[in-house]
Amino acid sequence: MSGHHASSAISADVRAVEAFLEQRGVLDPGEIDTRIDEFLAGGSPANGARVVARAWVDPAFTDRLLADANSAIREVGLSMAGGIQEQRLKVVANTAEEHNVVVCTLCSCYPIALLGPSPSWYKSEAYRSRVVRDPRGVLREFGLELPAATSIAVWDASAESRYMVLPRRPEGSDGLTEEALAGLVTRKGLIGTASV
C-alpha cells in the first residue's frame, strides 16, 4: 500500500468515526476542527521561552520542571492537554557536558502548545533520519558547532511523549529580567538545533 493511499484510507476512517460520533450526539458538528484550531491558536514558541526563563531564574522550578514537566508548566499557566489525553512532556537540560536535540523519527510529533506549529525542516525526512545518525553534522549545518568533548543526546518524540530542551543560560545575562530572558530563547533553542 503506498503512503498516499494509506493516508487516504485513514482519513476516510477518521471522517467516518467523526460522523458516527456526531450522529450519536457525542460530538457537535465541527467540534473536532474547532478544538484543533483552538489548540493551535494557543501554541507559540513564546510559551516555551517563558518556561525556560522561569527555570533560569528559579532553581526550584528547574528541579520541578526536570522531574515532572507536565505539573511544572501548569505553574506558568500552560498545559499539554491539547487532545483527549494529556501528552507527556519531558524537559531535558543542556549542560557543558551534554547537548540535547529533539526529533520525531516517525512523523513530526512535537509540543505545539509550547513551541507553536513545527517548522518545515523538523518534519522533513532529511532531518528526521540524519539527526539520529549524525547529530553533530546536522547541528553544524544549523550553525551550531559544539566542542568535541560535548556529547549529544537525541530524544525521539512519539504520539504519547513530547520533548523540549532547556538551553543553557547565556553568559552575561545575570542582570536581565525574566521577560528579557524569555526574549533570548528561540524555537531552535527549544528543539536543540541552536544554543538558545
Q: Catalytic site residues?
A: 104, 107-109
Q: Does residue 107 have a known ligand-binding role?
A: yes
φ, ψ for residue 131, nearest 5 deg: -65, -25
Q: Does residue 79 have a known ligand-binding role?
A: no
Place of cell 458516527: 20
Name the amino acid, one letter, at 153. Answer: A
Cell of 70: 507536565
d(CA 86, CA 83): 7
Q: Does residue 129 have a known ligand-binding role?
A: no
Q: How many CB atoms lie within 10 A of CB 14?
A: 11
Is residue 99 helix, strand or coil?
A: strand
Q: Does residue 104 have a known ligand-binding role?
A: yes
d(CA 153, CA 137): 14
Per the annotation, binding residues for Fe(3+) are 104, 107-109
